Amino acid sequence: MTDRLFTKERKPTTPALAVSQPSGMVLARARAARSHRVPVLPVALALVVAALLVTGLAVAYGHERTPPAVSAVTATPTVQVPPAPQRPALRDLMPSGVRIGSAADGRWLSLDPEYAELLGSEFGAVTAENAMKWGNLEPSPDVYAWTGADQLLTFAEQHDQAVYGHTLLGQNDVPKWVDPAWPAARLRTVLRDHVTTVVSRYRGRVWAWDVVNEALDEDGSLRDTLWLRKLGPGYVADVFRWAHAADPGARLFINDYGVEGRTRKADGLLAMVRDLRRAGVPVDGVGFQSHLQWDDRPRDLVGNLRRFAQLGVSVAITELDVRVELPETPAKLDRQAALYRQVLKACLAVTECVSFTVWGFTDARSWIPGYHEGYGAACLFDAALVPKPAYAALIDELRRLPPRSGGVSSPG
């Protein structure tokens, strides 16, 4: 994640021009004229003419030095989309039953009003980028830092947004105080208590959870983690059952990357979800992270989503971004836009696709440059919150949909 701030470009202001002489100077010259017995009328006329000349020169000089205020506007726009007040928001165009969301970093909700305004107006759902991860929520045993997660929940409720919880158990999010040397029984108790505490606190306020995140290796087998080594493969089912007991109304997802197309990892995930469902484990959905590269499209994205849906689960695009090899060019951004459109179109083509989430919406807050050297510009808006071709592509795709009664923007 990047913590850099950005400053939007501001239009230059032109100082007011002083084009009239002070009245005291006129009076002084009039008195001097009378003392020398010079006719008043010619002197007055001369002063008026002089004042007009000075005024004309000042105005002309001012216009010559004033920056052309329309130059930035009349230049070729980066994106062919209307100004914000004239364009519909993404959330307003989504079909009924599909949420469009963004990951959010709670720090910027108070530090950057423009970031907060755009997050609240464009998206019908939010995902906590880091605030709900175990290592951040419980930095010490039984000591919870709820502020960041609570702040995001409050923001979402104020803006009629659903909240997607991320994540109850992830491979990289275990607190440092959890000791791998502990016996299995203690590790199991610590994990169960964490899941139960978090889900119970937000019961009824979080519509879906990433229950287990990135549990698989690239070959489709279970990743070698502390939980697999100490608790065995059954730990995945246990976490789902604990989460369901804490909030039976929440939708429970298993989430992973590299499974958008037909890969070995996707095959392994498909088999895993099938087995869990057959065993009665409450797996309600599968999340496809979709951290993609501008020149590499997933293979058979629609068909892959459909084969998961045939298991009786919902599917969701949970963390979409499309990184571009730097420096970015118009051609690269056009291909990026086409990939954003392809993923949205695939989601909308599958009835069981219930949400479409981008992993951050502005390049100013993107995690990509810090983790993928030589890549960036992965989001819908640039660092100055100007919409990019990718945003225009989503708007265009949504406008092609048949009329509907309204999108989903509230929890439920």
Exactly one of 122, 129, 138, 214 is catalytic; name it.
214
Compute the distance between CA of residue 97 and CA of residue 89 in angstroms, rounded to an integer. 17
CA 298 from chain center: how many Å?
22
- H-run or E-run covering 225: none
CA distances (Å), origin 241, targets 73, 74, 76, 228, 253: 56, 59, 55, 17, 12
Compute the distance between CA of residue 358 and CA of residue 56 in angstroms, rounded to an integer. 56
Exactly one of 122, 129, 319, 352 is catalytic; name it.
319
Whether omega for the bond prior to residue 175 falls within 30 degrees of 0, making it cis, is no
Rg of the Cα trace of the chain? 30
CA distances (Å), origin 200, targets 156, 245, 248, 411: 18, 9, 10, 17
Query: Is 157 part of the annotated catalytic residue set?
Result: no
Compute the distance between CA of residue 382 and CA of residue 389 in angstroms, rounded to an integer. 10
Contact 184, 231 (CB under 8 A): yes
Compute the distance between CA of residue 133 and CA of residue 3 in angstroms, rounded to an integer. 18
User: Of the candidates 315, 193, 207, which has an alpha carbon nearest to the alpha carbon of residue 254?
Assistant: 315
Q: Please spell the DSSP secondary structure of 340-380, one letter per residue.
A: HHHHHHHHHHSTTEEEEEES-SBGGG-SHHHHSTTEE--SS
Compute the distance between CA of residue 131 and CA of residue 211 in angstroms, rounded to an integer. 15
- H-run or E-run covering 169: strand 162-170
Please report the beta strands in 85-150, taking only residues with DSSP state E, as ranges in sequence order: 99-104, 125-128
Q: Please spell the DSSP secondary structure of 33-101, one letter per residue.
A: HHHTT--HHHHHHHHHHHHHHHHHHHHHHHHHHS--TTHHHHSPPSS----GGGS--HHHHSPTT-EEE
Query: Is 319 part of the annotated catalytic residue set?
Result: yes
Name the H helices within 159-299.
184-201, 226-231, 235-246, 264-278
Compute the distance between CA of residue 288 and CA of residue 316 in angstroms, rounded to an integer. 6
Q: Which residues are catalytic?
A: 214, 319
